[in-house]
Amino acid sequence: MKLVHYFDYKSPYAYLAQEATFALAERAGVELDILPYSLHIPDFLGAAEVDTEGRVLSQSRNEHQWRRVRYSYMDCRREANRRGLTIRGPRKIYDSTVSHIGFLWAKERSGEFRTFHDTVYEKFWRHELDIEDPDAVEKTLGASRIEVRGFRDFLHGEGRRRLEEVKREAEDRGVFGVPGYLVGDELFWGAERLDRVAERLGLRPPPSAGESVPGRTP
């Protein structure tokens, strides 16, 4: 049996779900296939850009969207603080395409892509990595001991085609948000559904499974 997991580096909910996702796959003894799913956040939460002081420079959100965004980041920071992680609200809506193609490159060229994956998440949410910057992503690949020769050609050619293919296949299977999980053809959305994923994998989840891992990003 295989567990398919969809993530997006710009989703704080997906970030908080990573440790539990890897642990579940290990506990169940199943293959874990991790795939990037690039969200287009303005479609459902509008867009905004702020300066280093938090002042809004431009935005296209209504009041409901602002309340939802503010709560989401507060909720995620609250959980991150409990785990010793850092989540700082991004200053704009990022396009995670470059970092996701970097992930596909790492996954295909190294049996251990976890270092790159964890580093991108940690540094992005600390405001130490621009996931739109090819130089920064390439540097992170190299620091993760992943071959970088040929990455730029992959980024501008085959990698983009591959990422679109992953997104198309995901949406054909019903995926619309992250963290997303597929066991066979059954879709689960949100880290709070990890206990149900565990059951689907034939495990009895512990009482605390998923209860301290907030949410999902549509």
pLDDT tens, residue by residue, 178-212: 999 999 999 999 999 999 999 999 997 655 544 55
pTM of the entire structure?
A: 0.86
Contact of 33 with 5, CB cutoff 8 Å: yes
If one compares 154 and 62, the residue with the highest pLDDT of the two is 154
Burial 69-92 (b: 16+ CB within 10 A, else e): beebbebbbebbeeeebebebbee
Instruction: Tell me: pLDDT of 142 over 80.
Output: yes
Instruction: Tell me: pLDDT of 78 over 50.
Output: yes
3-state secondary structure the chain: CEEEEEECCCCHHHHHHHHHHHHHHHHHCCEEEEEECCCCCHHHHCCEEECCCCCEEEECCCHHHHHHHHHHHHHHHHHHHHHCCCCCCCCCCCCCHHHHHHHHHHHHHCCCCHHHHHHHHHHHHCCCCCCCCHHHHHHHHHHCCCCCCCHHHHHHCHHHHHHHHHHHHHHHCCCCCECEEEECCEEEECHHHHHHHHHHCCCCCCCCCCCCCCCCEC
Residue carrying the six token digits 């470059």:
98
The predicted structure's pLDDT at residue 87:
95
List, for residues 160-184, the tens digit of each pLDDT value.
999 999 999 999 999 999 999 999 9
